[in-house]
């Protein structure tokens, strides 16, 4: 599961990191509280090479008559994505990378209090979430939408959640984006144990209206 994340790199730096041309519609960064239905930074590949573009986080299948015409599809499970009506075609033909610098997960106390954790790469590099995308709506109002592919959590992340985003290493970007043809199925596995680290952060991030770098500041586990 991935329901909230951060993006703190400047747009130009994102483009350089992923060797992608930056569209003039990409959203403002930094954003320390990226929420479902927000516009997010997405790398996709086409005839003219890689592009960094804006997409709605919340995949809209073609048969949805409105944006609220069905469940909000922000994640797609790696185990079933190829056979799901909503995602199957996109998994084969429209794979993408969502750019992040970190993401949040929550644990619960015995009393039911939600405690947020911030997760990032140990090496400080941007995180490449595997994703799928779909254009939706009539031509005059068409929008691109996307979802993050998830896998079972590795041992590291299973301490706080049973699912994790599918994280792609640089050597696998081209294969996932379809630049090397088919054969991306072997990439659908949990990330290596040593690539991520996490720490507790203030409960302010529990609100989707919260913002600012203080949301990712480390908080002692005993606090609050």
Where in the chain are the domains? 5-216
CATH number of 5-216: 3.90.1680.10
Using left for φ > 0, alpha for ψ between -120 and 50, and beta otherwise, residue 123 falls in alpha
**What are the counts of helices (DSSP H) followed by strands (DSSP E) for the chain?**
3, 13
Q: Please tell me the predicted confidence (pLDDT) of residue 22.
A: 97
Q: Please tell me the predicted confidence (pLDDT) of residue 166.
A: 97
Strands 49-57 and 143-152: parallel
- The C-alpha atoms of residue 175 and residue 96 are separated, in whole angstroms, by 10
The H-assigned helical ranges of the chain are 11-17, 88-93, 173-176
- The C-alpha atoms of residue 194 and residue 156 are separated, in whole angstroms, by 8
Rounded (5°) CA angle 211-55-136? 135
Neighbours of 23 (CB within 10 A): 14
Strands 21-22 and 49-57: parallel
- The C-alpha atoms of residue 100 and residue 29 are separated, in whole angstroms, by 11
Total residues found in the chain within this entry:
224
Question: Residue-wise pLDDT tens for the chain (224 aa)?
Answer: 689 999 999 999 999 999 999 999 999 899 999 999 999 999 999 989 999 999 999 999 999 999 999 999 999 999 999 999 999 999 999 999 999 999 999 999 989 899 999 999 999 999 999 999 999 999 999 999 999 999 999 999 999 999 999 999 999 999 999 999 888 999 999 989 999 999 999 999 999 999 999 999 998 755 55
Which residues make beta-bridge pairs with 163? 152
């Amino acid at each position: 599961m991935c329901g909230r994340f951060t993006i703190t790199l400047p747009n130009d730096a994102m483009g350089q990191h992923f060797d992608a041309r930056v569209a003039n519609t990409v959203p403002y960064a930094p954003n320390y509280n990226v929420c479902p239905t927000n516009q997010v930074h997405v790398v996709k590949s086409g005839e003219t090479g890689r592009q960094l573009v804006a997409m709605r986080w919340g995949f809209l299948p073609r048969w949805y008559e409105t944006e609220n015409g069905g469940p909000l599809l922000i994640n797609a499970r790696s185990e079933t994505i190829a056979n799901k009506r909503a995602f199957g075609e996109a998994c084969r033909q429209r794979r993408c990378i969502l750019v992040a610098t970190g993401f949040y997960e929550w644990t619960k106390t015995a009393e039911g209090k939600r405690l947020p954790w911030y997760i990032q790469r140990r090496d400080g590099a941007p995180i490449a979430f595997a994703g799928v995308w779909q254009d939706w709506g009539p031509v005059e109002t068409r929008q691109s939408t996307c979802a993050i592919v998830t896998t079972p959590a590795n041992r590291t992340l299973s301490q706080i959640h049973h699912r994790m985003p599918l994280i792609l290493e640089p050597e696998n970007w081209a294969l996932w984006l379809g630049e090397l043809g088919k054969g991306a199925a072997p990439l659908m596995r949990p990330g290596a144990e040593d690539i991520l680290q996490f720490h507790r952060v203030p409960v302010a991030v529990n609100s989707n209206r919260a913002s600012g770098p203080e949301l990712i500041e480390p908080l002692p586990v005993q606090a609050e």
